[in-house]
Amino acid sequence: MELNTSTLTPLQRQMAERLKVSTLTPGFYQPSASVREGIHRVVMAGDTPVLAVGPDNCPYSEKQAEALAKSPKLAKALRTMGFEGDLSATTKKGADLGLPDTCAAMIVKPTGEVVEGTSLDKQQVHQMNSFVTLPPEKGQTLAALICTDNELLHILDPWAPALPTSGA
């Protein structure tokens, strides 16, 4: 799909270009029974789980969760969204995450591709990098930020190319 930026504001163009270069794109995921029953590495804002980054027994997921929990940029974004409390990384059972029926997710895509309306079914879950444990209306905002911010993107995908810093 070709990116048409002619009707976008400069900020929208910048975000569109960042999404095009990013290796992650915001999408949706319906948590499976195994996710709801599993144990996950999560980032908490106070007592609220906000991101699940992988299984509890994965050292890489542990590293990602801890890096996200230390990110001043993520902390500021969550405060702006109305979340209180310090960020922390921990493990939680899926049943304790209060997952909505549909979660926002950060979905893997090739750099340079524009993807619209991405939704994963159970067979495509391997394409998901991580997911937001919040309702979609707040989760999509957080997913979009993570996919378009150099610091946060590189915590989840250290091999992603650098994102553009100014609009086209």
96: left (phi over 0), alpha (psi -120 to 50) or beta: alpha
DSSP-H helix ranges across the chain: 10-21, 33-37, 59-69, 72-80, 136-148, 150-156
Q: What is the pLDDT of residue 126?
A: 46
Give me the chain's average pLDDT, please: 85
Q: Do the Cβ atoms of 45 and 34 come closer than 8 Å?
A: no
Q: Is 100 helix (H, G, I), strand (E, B) or coil?
A: coil
From CA 159, how far away is CA 94, in angstroms rounded?
Answer: 28
For the chain, the residue count is 168
Q: Do the Cβ atoms of 50 and 98 come closer than 8 Å?
A: no
Q: What is the pLDDT of residue 155?
A: 95
Q: What is the pLDDT of residues 92-110, one digit of tens each?
A: 999 999 999 988 888 888 8
Percent of the chain with pLDDT over 70: 86
Q: What is the pLDDT of residues 25-77, one digit of tens each?
A: 888 888 889 889 999 999 999 999 999 999 999 999 999 999 999 999 999 99
